[in-house]
Copies of this chain bind each other. A is one copy, B any other.
Amino acid sequence: MRIKRLAIIGLGLIGGSLARALRQADAVEHIIGCGRSLPNLQCGRDLGVIDSYHQDVGQAVAQADLVFVAAPLSAMRDIFAAMNGQLKTDAIITDGGSAKASVIADFNAVCPQHRHQFVPGHPIAGTENSGVKASFATLYQNRQVILTPTESSSADAIHKVTEMWQLCGAEVKQMTAEHHDQIFAATSHLPHMLAFALVDLLGTAQEKQDIFEYTAGGFLDFTRIASSNPVMWRDICLANKTAISEITQQYAAHLQQLAEWIEQADGEALLEVFQHAKMTRDQLI
């Protein structure tokens, strides 16, 4: 597989690393970057991550054979709308959004005539850093990429996007967008809610100073994800609100039950929960 012209909309860690990986695999001829920050685009070209850039989405995708959108979930719809009428008929479009049903809804709403060529995706990779400077060619090596093709996605488009990620060293899996959104609500979105809620709660307590004076390493590990980007997480909550609110309510009820067992000093019930949790956690490693 060789991509003649690849357009990357949103040139950060995710988009930049895809560009670097495909270039290293010698799988692409020309890479066009697109984004709102001119200095970042210039940096991408200076680093050789991209060959050229446009700040306008329509111009960036005009000649592209493959388009990868690595933008915030809240920006997806406008980006897809800007592609409409500019894309080549056979251009393939994929993305890296961490919620999938909302991205599909956005695409179908504003770019319906390209729906056969659209293959939604989610690379499970990242670091704490952002921006094209932080990107590197091996980010996707041995990482998972989940594709959530729609009923309209063509077999050929799915095949090409799969191959693209495999060239980056990733393992590609397929599932429905709904299933994806439920799984990630449980393993990623819910833990972020728990950490945000904990630090928010303790940060408003009267004894705040005292409380935080005695936090040890465990607390810092546990709350690391509460330092994540608030705007990105607001967007994820809005994009995947049904699945996240459901699992969060389920969890809150579970925790309420635990609190009652503690109040009632029900040692047996507590021990059962803790043992099951430890056994489950130990099996993950």
Contacts and interface: CB of A to CB of B under 8 A. Distances in A.
A144 B251 CA distance: 34
Contact of A274 (B124, B230, B275): B230
Interface string A206-231: 01001110111011111111111111
A45 to B, nearest CB: 31
A225 B195 CA distance: 14
Q: How many copies does the complex hold?
A: 2
Given A182-B207, A207-B182, A251-B255, A187 B214 contact: yes
B212 A274 contact: no
Contacts of A62: none
Size band of the interface chain A makes with B: 35 or more
Contacts of A200: 254, 273-274, 276-277, 280
Contacts of A220: 284-285
B196 A274 contact: yes
Contact of A252 (B146, B214, B256, B278): B256
A1 interface: no
Q: Main secondary structure on chain A at its contact with chain B?
A: helix
Interface in A255-285: 255-256, 258-260, 262-263, 265, 267, 270-271, 273-282, 284-285
A251 B201 contact: yes
A130 interface: no
A108 to B, nearest CB: 20
Interface in A67-82: none
Query: Which of A187, A190, A203, A263 has the most C-beta atoms of chain B within 10 angstroms of its own C-beta?
Result: A187
A164 to B, nearest CB: 20
B278 A227 contact: yes
B249 A252 contact: no
Contact of A187 (B186, B211, B274): B211
Nearest to A276: B200
B262 A244 contact: yes
A270 to B, nearest CB: 5
Interface of A: 124, 144, 146, 179, 182-184, 186-188, 190-191, 193-205, 207, 210-212, 214-216, 218-231, 233-234, 237-238, 241-242, 244-245, 248-252, 254-256, 258-260, 262-263, 265, 267, 270-271, 273-282, 284-285
17 contacts: A186-B202, A195-B222, A196-B273, A196-B274, A196-B277, A198-B251, A200-B280, A203-B279, A212-B284, A221-B221, A227-B282, A238-B262, A238-B267, A241-B265, A245-B259, A249-B259, A252-B252
